Amino acid sequence: MPTLGQNQYGKAECRVVRITRNGATHRIKDLNVSVSLSGAMDEVHYSGANATVLPTDTTKNTVYAFAKEHGIDSAEQFGIHLARHFVASQEPIHRARVRIEEYAWERIATCEGEPAPHSFVRKGQETRLAQVTYDGSAWEVVSGLADLVVLNSTDSEFRGYVKDKYTTLPEAYDRVLATEVTARWRLNWTDDAQPAPDWDASYARARADLLQAFAETYSLSLQQTLYRMGSRIIERQDDIDEVRLSLPNKHHFLVDLEPFGLKNDNEVYVAADRPYGLIEATVLRDGCEARIPVDLTNL
């Protein structure tokens, strides 16, 4: 006769972003929370009776509500709050396992070297890119980066757009703007007779220009932000003629906390990974032609 062995259930990968607002200076905690519960769950497996089952949707809601009620001082402390709650509040639950991944952010430095109060760059995600083409007489060098995740927790709007009978998106007057930057820039060094650029310094300057433009732009659209980012590189670096940017909109939606008697004052968001808006464009130096492919994956 078969018998039931080890079992558990729960909600996996609840993405929760908690923004603590202290005046103009904000603090961000970005977690991926997975909860697993086990206990007196034999009957639901044998007969389908759900009398001892706390819905996994409730588990998800608890993560978001606790982000508001308790804040997130650390991943460990947040997990302690959650695990204690599930075991103490539900008699059939004998064990709760909470696994948390935390995505670290650091403040973007302004041109003056001061930390921006509400603009952040994700730590450790960036990949440096380079493509070198040589035909025996001339060089084409395209530098770039991918996986550079940035976020503004305010100073972003999206309103005044076209609406038709299928439009349900409400206008946003204060939203989180986040994207994962893929950028390529083409240098105008083509000849061995020219002094070659300092590649590391050139890369560092372009990266800094991208970040500073993102941090300093009051965004009315992601397209506007993209253009400012590319323009900053062209304006400040004479050896770069073309910048190609691909910016997916990493949507952050406010969680409806009213069912739990809580007010969400632009504090607790769900980070949605798909579907997403994808904004792409090239910014050129006046008089130059575009050479970087539109589809950056084919570069």
Task: Count the Cβ atoms, other than its own, within 10 Å of residue 235.
Answer: 13
- Whole-number Å distance between alpha carbons of 223 and 243: 14
Task: Count the Cβ atoms, other than its own, within 10 Å of residue 224.
Answer: 14
The question of whether 26 is a catalytic residue gets the answer: no
Q: How far is CA 226 from the centre of its chain?
A: 16
Which residue in the list 29, 81, 118, 251 is annotated as catalytic? 251
Which residue in the list 20, 52, 56, 110 is annotated as catalytic? 56
Q: Is residue 72 packed enough to be buried (19+ CB in 10 Å), middle (13-18) or exposed (0-12)? A: buried
Half-sphere exposure at residue 273, Cβ-oriented, CA atoms within 13 angstroms: 6
Q: Which residue shows structure tokens 């991926």?
A: 32
DSSP 3-state of 122:
strand
Amino acid sitting at position 18: R
The question of whether 297 is a catalytic residue gets the answer: no
The question of whether 11 is a catalytic residue gets the answer: yes
Which residue in the list 11, 29, 81, 118 is annotated as catalytic? 11
Residues with a catalytic annotation lie at 11, 56, 251
